[in-house]
Chain A
Amino acid sequence: MIARLQQLGRRGCDGLETLGRAGVFLALSSFGVPSREGWHLWLRQMHFVGVLSLAIVLVSGLFIGMVLALQGYTILVDFGAEQALGQMVALSLLRELSPVVAALLFAGRAGSALTAEIGLMKATEQLTSMEMIGVDPLRRVVAPRLWAGFVALPLLTVGFSVVGIVGGYLVGVEWLGVFDGSYWANMQASVDFLDDVVNGMVKSLVFALVVTWIAVFQGYDLIPTSEGISRATTRTVVYSSLVVLGLDFVLTAMMFGGLS
């Protein structure tokens, strides 16, 4: 019994220590002085985490929009309210599905790649040799990736929403025959820029920071063996997903739950 308690306490202390290390890590790597060189590094990472995630995010957005319209239509048509389909699709996407699903896809596509890449650099002593050359790997390797993820995910989320709404239009209007004037007009009337669009973007910014932070930290902090890399990559995806879903609940409660 005592041993159990001890173990629990030890776990708790270890967890707190890791959190502290992750905090110091974030502080040290995010305040790099921007330079021309840094700009180039950032652009290259934007290509890796942003542009290369575009395909999976947009295709998923299209299908999610189409499914939403299909499911929404079968429910709404019972109440004769199928004109409200545009409103339903747009609000679900902007408030919930785009930030959350894009973040989950991003964690799987870009987060795991970041962890594995930084982890392999650590395992092959590239980070150590960079330190010995007198270049801080936190600034040179971690900072561009952190900032690229932070900027790329919100942009991907916008793309997700746009494509999703078009997907809903294709299914709802072109296929199921909802009047296209009411699809767009209802959407226009019910979507509030501040409440829906901005709140969704705030969610996305928070998720971007957390997912990228977890990914680069797991890569930087892992045990440099092949087993360590595989474990850290798994941890990145698992932690990111859980944290995104948990934070989504908290943020939703704050934004739409009447807590404010």
Chain B
Amino acid sequence: MSDSPLVVVKDLHFSRGEMEIFRGVDLCIPRGKITAVMGPSGTGKTTLLKLIGGQLVPDAGQVLIDGADVHALSRKALFALRRRMGMLFQSGALFSDLDVYENVAFPLRVHTNLPEAMIRDVALMKLEAVGLRGARKLMPAELSGGMARRVALARAIALDPELILYDEPFVGQDPISMGVLVQLIKRLNEALGLTAIVVSHDIKETLSIADYVYVIADGEVMAHGTPATLDVDDDPRVSQFVHGEPDGPVPFHYPAVDFLTDILAAGEGR
């Protein structure tokens, strides 16, 4: 049982209006490992996390967490399942009416009957783990972006989840807090045996911590493998992405008519 994958995504289809976002995505997330899902922005990586968390319903296909089909569960069972997962949002998504301490204590208060003293100990432990025990009295509006994300991380691990979903954890961070976050994610995975899914397009940081990587583009899994195998992949699309070349099979330009025709077509307005 314990070596079976924790999350299995089978033939996932999803579209938003006319836009087809996923056309048959298969993923397999092993327990206790850090799995990265990478791809250019706009490929629906955040959407994938929302599908795994059961907030969006796919057009076809399944998401199995520990064998349970997320989208077939009742509302109640889904909320029970979510207690076993944590999610780190891009914006942090801290509750703006609660201070840092109360934000971290929130999951403990609503899901456990622990006495106040115990809640305090756990919340301070989690804050200590992200290095922000001293900031417990601040309100979310007083935190910098990096600090907010670390508090959100402390809140996401408050209930010791089995699975944690990271949505673009490195975006918009200065090099120092980026390094701090990379280390934290790695350490949490090693120390607590957490299964992690990291969605990101920061190649260097992600490849340095991931055990396994999926690259998604055009609604499909373009490549997958360990960071070492991806680095030497011959597929020009994969190599363009992994080595960050500006133009290649994935075009720099948004589809448009020929530039010269466009310039000469003055008088037609925009």
Q: A interface vs B, CB < 8 Å?
A: 37, 121, 124-126, 128-136, 140
Taking CB atoms, residues of chain A closer than 8 Å to B50 are 128
Q: Does the CB pair B110–A125 fall under 8 Å?
A: no
8 contacts across the A-B interface (CB closer than 8 A): A125-B89, A125-B93, A128-B50, A129-B87, A130-B95, A132-B53, A132-B82, A134-B82
B96 close to A126 (CB less than 8 A): yes
The answer on a CB contact under 8 Å between A134 and B87 is: no
Number of interface residues of B (CB under 8 A): 25
Contact call B83/A128, Cβ cutoff below 8 A? no
With contacts A132-B53, A135-B110 taken as known, whether A126 is within 8 angstroms of B79 at the C-beta atoms is no
B118 within 8 A of A: no
Chain B residues near A128: list those with CB within 8 A. 50, 55, 89, 93
**Which of B55, B90, B94, B107 contacts A131, CB < 8 Å?**
B55
The answer to whether the Cβ of B138 comes within 8 Å of any Cβ in the partner chain is no
Given that A132-B82, A134-B79, A134-B80 are contacting pairs, would A124 and B91 also be in contact in the complex, using a CB cutoff of 8 Å?
A: yes
B79 contacts A136, C-beta separation under 8 Å = yes
CA distance A128 to B165 in the complex (A): 13
Whole-angstrom CA separation of A153 from B89 in the bound complex: 37
Are B79 and A129 neighbours in the complex by a CB distance under 8 Å?
A: no
Whether B89 and A133, one on each chain, are in contact in the complex, defined by CB atoms closer than 8 angstroms, is no
**Smallest Cβ distance from B38 to chain A, in angstroms?**
22
- Inside 8 A of A130's CB, which chain B residues have their CB? 95
* Nearest CB in chain B to that of A136: its residue: B79
Q: How far does the alpha carbon of A125 sit from the alpha carbon of B106 in the complex, in Å?
A: 16
Instruction: Verify if B198 is at the interface (C-beta below 8 Å from A).
Output: no
In chain B between 86 and 108, which residues have their CB closer than 8 angstroms to a CB of chain A? 86-87, 89-91, 93-96, 106-107
Q: Are A132 and B87 in contact (CB under 8 A)?
A: yes
**Quick one: which of A121, A124, A126, A131 contacts B82, CB cutoff 8 A?**
A131
CB distance from B117 to the nearest CB of A (A): 19
For the complex formed, measure the closest distance between the CB of B116 and the CB atoms of chain A, giving whole angstroms: 14
Give per-residue flags for B156-187: 1 if the beta carbon is below 8 A from chain A beta carbons, else 0.
00000000000000000000000000000000
Residue B111 interfacial (CB < 8 Å): yes
Q: Does B34 reach chain A (CB closer than 8 Å)?
A: no
Give Cα A136–Cα B111 distance, bound, in whole angstroms: 12
A124-B96, A126-B96, A128-B55 known; A133 and B110 CB under 8 Å?
yes
Indicate whether A126 sits within 8 Å of B93 (C-beta atoms), given known contacts A131-B82, A134-B111, A136-B79: yes
* B209 contacts A by Cβ under 8 Å: no
CB-nearest residue of chain B relative to A129?
B93
- A129: chain B residues within 8 A (beta carbon): 87, 89, 93, 95, 152
B1 → chain A, closest Cβ, in Å?
Answer: 23
> Closest 4 interchain pairs by CB?
A129-B93, A125-B93, A134-B82, A134-B83
Q: Which residues of the partner chain A approach B111 to less than 8 Å between Cβ atoms?
A: 134
A124 to B111, CA, bound (A): 23
Closest-by-CB residue of A relative to B83 is: A134
Q: How far is the CB of A185 from chain B (nearest CB, A)?
A: 51
Tell me which residues across on chain A come within 8 A of B12, comparing CB atoms: none
16 additional A-B pairs beyond A129-B93, A133-B82, A133-B155, beta carbons within 8 Å, are A124-B93, A126-B93, A128-B55, A129-B87, A129-B152, A131-B53, A132-B53, A132-B55, A132-B82, A132-B86, A134-B80, A134-B107, A134-B110, A135-B110, A136-B79, A140-B110
Q: How far is the CA of A133 from the CA of B155 in the complex (A)?
A: 9
Closest to A44 in B: B97
B154 contacts A by Cβ under 8 Å? no
Chain A residues with CB under 8 Å of B89's CB are 125, 128-129
B85 at the interface (CB under 8 A from A): yes
How far is the CB of B151 from the nearest CB of chain A, in Å? 12
User: A126 near B80 (CB under 8 angstroms)?
Assistant: no
In the complex, chain B residues whose CB is within 8 Å of the CB of A37: 109-110
Closest to A138 in B: B75
CB-CB under 8 A from B107, the residues of chain A are 133-134
> In whole angstroms, what is the CA distance A125 to B50 when docked?
12
B75: which A residues are within 8 A, CB to CB?
136
Closest to B76 in A: A136
What residue of chain B has the Cβ atom nearest to residue A131's Cβ? B55
State how many angstroms separate the Cβ of A69 from the closest Cβ of chain B: 43
Bound together, the chains give a CA A41 to CA B240 distance in angstroms of 52
